[in-house]
Structure 1
Amino acid sequence: MALGNHSAITEFILLGLSADPHVQALLFVLFLVIYLLTLMGNLSHLSFLDLCYSSVTVPKLLENLLSQKKTISVGGCLAQVFFVFVPGGTEVCLLSVMAYDRCVAICHPLHCRQIMTNRLCNSLVRGSWSLSILDAFIYILEAMSLDFCEDQYIPHYSCELPSLFPLSCSEVSTSFTVLLCSSVVHGLGTCLLIVFSYVLIASTILTISSSSGRGKAFSTCSSHLTAILLFYGSGFLRYLIPTSGSPLELIVSVQYGVVTPLVNPLIYSLKNNEVKAALRRTFRKYLQDR
């Protein structure tokens, strides 16, 4: 970093979600329970990404909720930026891969096995990881070129690249342009692939004559669509809202960084008939006890 006449800082102060000790204690219990449920509920590859994504920020959030010194080193902050982008970017890619998989299953059911081979699936997964790691390296190299001085306070509970730009006393226009272009190519590109897949799915479903067949086809996509809306909706809102530490910004960040990794496995579990039957039995028993 070219520091010039500025005095370099070695750590940032995360302002977190609240300065009230009582609220911090309640938030600690809440987020600890959510994180433990996330650990227990994530098994599949996509869920493993949710687990990684949550593990980058939530442990530090829990530590700061109980600590008087809510600091993070500059190196630790940049590492957090990198490891947020890797699973987040991979999940975006995998959601588009899953959309293609459902498109093939519904539009070409007789040739699904021949098209979506294990070799192709493994290649798509490896490609998703590779693209995301490459993107994350681009982001972190741009972040490492920034000159941080004077202001140490991050109005957030974690380090994210948009939160670091206002703290830099060097020129950030190039870094911001790189971030914007990469986000458009990565985020918007995968989003367009998902939209295109679901346009083909919808046109195929509308040609199905029986209502039960249409319902079954729509049901196949419901959990995936819900996961897409949660992840993309909150993610786009987070990066479109100017960094200010506003309550809305923090709520959106908590939603996609803490809540979504917990909710995703629940969404996919509700597609399992055994899980649904167990939930019905639980609710029935609860109502009978009352």
Structure 2
Amino acid sequence: MSLVSMAQLLLDAQQGQYAVGAFNCNNMEIVQAIVSAAEAEKSPVIVQASQGAIKYAGIEYIAAMTRLAAEQASVPVALHLDHGTSFVQIMSCVRNSFTSVMIDGSKLPLEENIALTNKVIEAVRPLGISVEAELGKIGGTEDDITVSEKEALFTDPAEAERFVSEAKVDALAIAIGTAHGQYKGVPELDFQRLTEIRRRVNVPIVLHGSSGVPDEAIQKAISLGVCKVNIDTNIREAFVAAARKVMVDHPQEIDPRKMLGPAREATVAIIREKIRLFGSSGKA
């Protein structure tokens, strides 16, 4: 089927009390793995492209690969810009068939974040493209975007209510204790804050930096209203570990397919595991 908008996937998840996995891609094998895993689990899925992925593979290549994978799939696939940094970049995604975008104005003052988000909504919503925004700062580093521990601020529930009232987003990413990258310890999520935000806003809530968060914490967050869960680091770990094993076990191997094939299969396995954890298996 054709690429679909993320908005309806998340509304269905909100009603069904599960979450849709949003998995970051960097190359052809990972795009294939994401869609293959979703097919195997009969689950809707979101393929995400970050700043680093766009810089590495090129926005045209990512869009073309994901569009082809979606056309050959029997499950709904959305193509989403992760942590978009500018209006210009959003428009580039629109030209390249993205069906969903995130505009990350979380480092801006609240009023400027709302204004930037509304500018994006006004431009892309008539085209059927969904919009995710972020309120509060999620610690850690993801590609070119870094938030130090001192800068990392949890989302204020009252500000979330105002933000959603003034910017009619399709999804809101919030900061409740997760971080991008690999964790140094076990993250502790602020479930009380999540509950209060859920009480004040009715749009689907997004949890970034979810790799490394304990399964039970992810499930509790979903039960409290999280509808989209982002996974990147776990994919990289599985992919690289499998490729590295081939290179260590067979140091004379020069066929990249012998390395990338097992890496792709390992990625399928970890994504299937996440899809089951999120409760979206069989929801396509």
TM-score by length of 1: 0.28
Flag the structure with higher strand content: 2
Flag the structure with higher helix content: 1
Specify which structure has the bigger relative contact order, considering alpha-carbon pairs within 8 angstroms and separated by 6 or more residues: 1
TM-score by length of 2: 0.29
Q: Highest Rg: 1 or 2?
A: 1
